[in-house]
Structure 1
Amino acid sequence: MWREIAPDATHVVKVDGYDVIAYEFGEGDEVVFLANGGPGLPCDYLREAHSCLIDHGYRVVAFDQLGTGASDRPTDPALWTIGRYVEETETVRRALGLGKVHFLGHSWGGWLAIDYALTYPDALKTLVLEDTVADMPHLITELERLRGALGSETVAMMQAHEAAGTIDHPEYMAAITLLNYRHVCRLKEWPAPVNRSLSDWNMGPYATMQGPNEFLYIGNLKDWNRVSDLHKITVPTLITCGEHDELTPACALRMKLNLPNAELKVFANSSHMPFYENPRDYYPALLAFLGKHSQR
């Protein structure tokens, strides 16, 4: 089960002249390398949920992506591309001498993980794609379906605000808040690491790459689609999602059907963060997968 653990080491990695901060827990050759969601979020929420893997003999490494957390925060929007983040990830892996890793990407980190796996396949032992997608246009249709559950009048209100550019209006924000509690985290009280990451969200990368909120994708990734390339990813892959996930089980199934060596776990009573919402089911599933493909 998750708990907050102080890192055994903190590293500064130079990436194109900027400082990127990485956190290391435990030791050994079986490395779980984390790519958190966002974009623009510090790694706290994913790091704290997975540093406990050291109890099972894994070395866990997370990093604050450029623009987030303790890493440098430049403001040039040209930096906020998935290709640049792929190269940043590889720079961190090489700088820390991690060797082949179990690469775990959550949400936006899953999109990054897919592009990373296609670019650096020899860096991977396994791939874990959590609460993520490989086809953004398909996701956008799924998000419209989730929004539709609020009712036609509410959807019309949201669309009117989006067209007018008034998405900071209280009634629009109320609808987004309801969607967040249905499809991002269904716990009444969100865990401290989640709140800590959210309170330090850099909206520069987020707005540039994704959009203004979790249910409106208008950034530079809105047309991103790697389904036709997934057959090239041959390492063992675990796909996970929550039954109420904003990045829906239908999106997860699309990945499963196009990856040659993948298994899919859908967690009950969960949305976008099963590691916090349903830890009793999440951790055994993750550990069973890692255990099949590790030498400890």
Structure 2
Amino acid sequence: MWREIEPDQRYDVEVDGHHLVAYGFGDGDEVLLCLNGGPGLPCDYLRDSHGWLKEKGLRVIAFDQLGTGASARPTDEALWDITRYVAEVETVRQALDLGKVHLLGHSWGGWLAIEYAIHHPQSLKTLILENTAGDIPHLSLELERLRAALGSETVAMMQRHEAMGTLDHPQYQAAITLLNYRHVCRLDEWPAPVTRSLGDWNMGPYMTMQGPNEFLYTGNLKDWNRIEQMAGFEMPVLITTGQHDELTPACAMRMKMALKDVQLNVFPNSSHMPFYEEPQAYFPVLLDFLLRHRN
């Protein structure tokens, strides 16, 4: 199934005077353009889990978003805006002459994919929304539910540290670590591409857009909700999630109810990364969807 392989191509793309690096696997007209999560993460974890799909006749493209990985890392907070990132995706698509693509967005990359689909629907063959949400206020309610499972005393402790701004306290960090192992990746040992991406996390975009951790949204996306606009999507959509995902099956269901041509798969033994946690279940679903929508 998935394995780390070297990209076949490395591309340099200029976006508004900033340098981006993109990676390609395979060739052909069926392009899977991958938008990884974060914000602020290099694309390693998503690129390296999906690059092998070149063996299935797909051209797989991923790139380090501005501020991450091998791409430029400016510090202007005004750059950390989803509208600017949409323009970045379109610049990459045009610069690499990708034509119409299958757009795969994971986590934050899913929010970006939804926003891109609203503004550039003519550029998409299909939309694949992995472990993501279309309504962040609803997601925040779901995260409160997941936190509540830690117990009332632990939640009170977390709220105290959040109010005081002492999020680096060992007590608080221990609670976040437990939540991460429950709802981000349930494997005892996280795969090397995941630890590489996490080890090179640029917290500037993350703090500005999302917040201090996966379970507290305070950034400029905290009120983002595109459920109403998703009702207008005409392209086929695949939604995947894990039963234990931090971006919960309820978030996935909320998107499904808004869409016209949609398939939803929930993987029972996964949280936020079924392509690592349950690859034997995840990849057949993805490949079947793409096979049915080749053109």
Q: Which of the five TM-score ranges fits, normalised by the shorter chain? A: over 0.9
Separation in structure 1 between the aligned mates of residue 132 and residue 248 of structure 2, nearest angstrom: 8
Q: CA deviation at 1:233?
A: 1.2
Q: CA deviation at 1:150?
A: 0.1
Q: 1:245 maps to what in 2?
A: 245
Q: 2:196 maps to what in 1?
A: 196
Separation in structure 2 between the aligned mates of residue 171 and residue 196 of structure 1, nearest angstrom: 25
Q: Which runs of 4+ in 1 moved over 3 A?
A: none
Separation in structure 2 between the aligned mates of residue 52 and residue 8 of structure 1, nearest angstrom: 11
- Letter matched to residue 105 of structure 1: G
Q: CA deviation at 1:52?
A: 1.0
Say yes or no: does 1:233 pair with 2:233. yes
- Letter matched to residue 45 of structure 2: Y
Separation in structure 2 between the aligned mates of residue 105 and residue 82 of structure 1, nearest angstrom: 13
Q: 1:139 maps to what in 2?
A: 139
Separation in structure 2 between the aligned mates of residue 232 and residue 92 of structure 1, nearest angstrom: 25
Q: 2:209 maps to what in 1?
A: 209
Separation in structure 1 between the aligned mates of residue 244 and residue 133 of structure 2, nearest angstrom: 14
Separation in structure 1 between the aligned mates of residue 117 and residue 43 of structure 2, nearest angstrom: 20
Q: CA deviation at 1:103?
A: 0.1
Q: 1:173 maps to what in 2?
A: 173
Q: CA deviation at 1:96?
A: 0.1
- Letter matched to residue 124 of structure 2: L
Q: CA deviation at 1:260?
A: 0.8
- Letter matched to residue 175 of structure 1: A
Q: 1:148 maps to what in 2?
A: 148
- The total of aligned residue pairs comes to 295
Q: 2:127 maps to what in 1?
A: 127
Per the alignment, in what secondary structure is the counterpart of residue 52 of structure 1?
helix
- Letter matched to residue 2 of structure 2: W
Q: 1:289 maps to what in 2?
A: 289
**Structure 1 unmatched runs, 5+:** none
Separation in structure 2 between the aligned mates of residue 181 and residue 91 of structure 1, nearest angstrom: 36
**Structure 2 unmatched runs, 5+:** none
Identity %: 70
Q: 2:61 maps to what in 1?
A: 61
Separation in structure 2 between the aligned mates of residue 61 and residue 221 of structure 1, nearest angstrom: 26
Q: CA deviation at 1:268?
A: 1.3
Q: CA deviation at 1:27?
A: 0.3
Q: 1:267 maps to what in 2?
A: 267
Separation in structure 1 between the aligned mates of residue 2 and residue 83 of structure 2, nearest angstrom: 31
Say yes or no: does 1:162 pair with 2:133. no
Q: 1:277 maps to what in 2?
A: 277
The alignment's TM-score, normalised by the length of structure 1, stands at 0.99
Q: 1:81 maps to what in 2?
A: 81
Per the alignment, in what secondary structure is the counterpart of residue 61 of structure 1?
strand
- Letter matched to residue 76 of structure 1: D
Residues 179-236 of structure 1 deviation map (CA, whole Å, 9 limit, x = unaligned): 0000000000000000000000000000000000000000000000001111111100
- Letter matched to residue 75 of structure 2: T
Q: 2:19 maps to what in 1?
A: 19
Residues 2-40 of structure 1 deviation map (CA, whole Å, 9 limit, x = unaligned): 111111110110000000100011000000000000000
Say yes or no: does 1:10 pair with 2:10. yes
